[in-house]
């Protein structure tokens, strides 16, 4: 038996599929889930509305809606569609479900304060989040050239993670790291996979998410100050 020279291997040697098969997953899940994409759109609109509202109940609702999105993309796309051709995706699917459980616990038991940002800022944040979440799915369409490959929030993992990270900044910094670890790991995995497949346009998704996630580990809102 000869020793295996691992230095001669590259990431492509561990992928048993090509970019066409990978992009076809997005088409398949949209065809199979139709018309449930409407639920994903409703979740997006509800989260944007909760960001605009900004009170304690809205913050709890945001985390619960994020939990639904993580659980759906983990059990659906990762475990049922992506996992059969890429076994680490199944492990991430279970991790996404765990993240959904943690978000649910945080939403229900964390003692949120009742403070909210200025109304204009809340409207800007809600509108910005909605626009971002609506445009990110088009990157997969641009990569594949197929409108049926649109990668909606709550259904596909990259867009779900990208849209979740700004919302996770609502959490206090002392516990936020627990919820940002999985986005960080997923981004690294996704970057490696997409780079190996040569789907360069889609690299924008995990790259931007990775940057925001890293910033999120140290980001802390400036405390409100008053002259009194």
Structure confidence by residue, pLDDT tens digits, 98-145: 999 999 999 988 766 655 556 777 888 888 899 999 999 999 999 999
| Helical axes 56-73 vs 37-53, angle rounded to 10° | 150
pLDDT band at 54 (very low <50, low <70, confident <90, very high): confident
Confidence of residue 215 (pLDDT cuts 50, 70, 90): confident
Cβ-based neighbours of 66, under 8 Å, separated by 6 or more = 47, 100, 103, 164, 167, 168
DSSP 12: G
Which range in 66-70, 191-195, 216-220 is most confidently predicted, on average pLDDT? Answer: 66-70
Determine the pLDDT at residue 226: 39
34 pLDDT above the threshold of 70: yes
The counts of H helices and E strands in the chain are: 9, 0
Give the per-residue pLDDT at 30: 95
For residue 137, what is the DSSP state?
A: T
Mean pLDDT for the stretch of residues 77-82: 96
pLDDT of residue 15: 67
pLDDT value of residue 100: 97
pLDDT, greater one: 165 or 15:
165
Residue 31 has pLDDT above 80, yes or no: yes
User: Domain residue spans in the chain?
Assistant: 14-157
Residue (of 103, 100, 104, 95) closest to 186 by Cα position: 95
Q: What is the pLDDT of residue 181?
A: 92
Q: How far apart are CA 94 and CA 162, in angstroms?
A: 18
Burial 72-97 (b: 16+ CB within 10 A, else e): bbbebbbbebbbeebeebbebbebbb
- Give, for 63, the enclosing helix (H) or strand (E): helix 56-73
pLDDT tens-place string over residues 173-209 = 778 888 999 999 999 999 999 999 999 999 999 988 8
* Spacing of C-alpha 75 from chain mean position: 14
Q: How confident is the model at residue 228 (pLDDT cuts 50, 70, 90)?
A: very low
Q: Which of 124, 153, 123, 122 is nearest to 138 (CA)?
A: 153
Please state, in angstroms and rounded to a whole number, the distance separating the CA atoms of residues 97 and 157: 12
Q: What is the pLDDT of residue 88?
A: 92
Cα dihedral: 206, 211, 213, 216 (round 10): -160
Q: Tell me the mean pLDDT in the region 152-156.
A: 94
Compute φ and ψ for 126, nearest 5 degrees: -65, -45
d(CA 132, CA 182): 21
């Amino acid at each position: 038996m000869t020793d295996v020279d691992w230095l001669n291997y590259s990431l492509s040697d561990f992928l048993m599929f090509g970019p066409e098969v990978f992009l076809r997953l997005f088409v398949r899940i949209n065809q199979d889930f139709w018309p449930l994409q409407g639920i994903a759109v409703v979740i997006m609109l509800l989260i944007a509305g909760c960001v605009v509202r900004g009170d304690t109940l809205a913050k709890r609702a945001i985390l619960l809606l994020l939990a639904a999105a993580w659980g759906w993309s983990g059990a659906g796309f990762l475990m049922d569609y992506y996992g059969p051709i890429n076994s680490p995706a199944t492990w991430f699917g279970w991790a996404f479900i765990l993240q959904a459980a943690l978000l649910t616990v945080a939403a229900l038991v964390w003692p949120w304060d009742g403070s909210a940002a200025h109304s204009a800022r809340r409207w800007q944040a809600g509108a910005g989040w909605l626009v971002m979440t609506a445009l990110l799915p088009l990157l997969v369409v641009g990569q594949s050239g197929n409108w049926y490959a649109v990668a909606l929030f709550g259904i596909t993992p990259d867009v779900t993670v990208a849209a979740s990270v700004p919302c996770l900044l609502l959490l206090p910094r002392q516990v936020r790291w627990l919820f940002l670890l999985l986005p960080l790991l997923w981004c690294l995995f996704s970057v490696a996979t997409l780079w190996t497949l040569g789907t360069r346009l889609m690299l924008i998704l995990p790259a931007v998410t990775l940057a925001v996630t890293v910033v999120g580990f140290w980001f802390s809102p400036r405390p409100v100050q008053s002259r009194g």
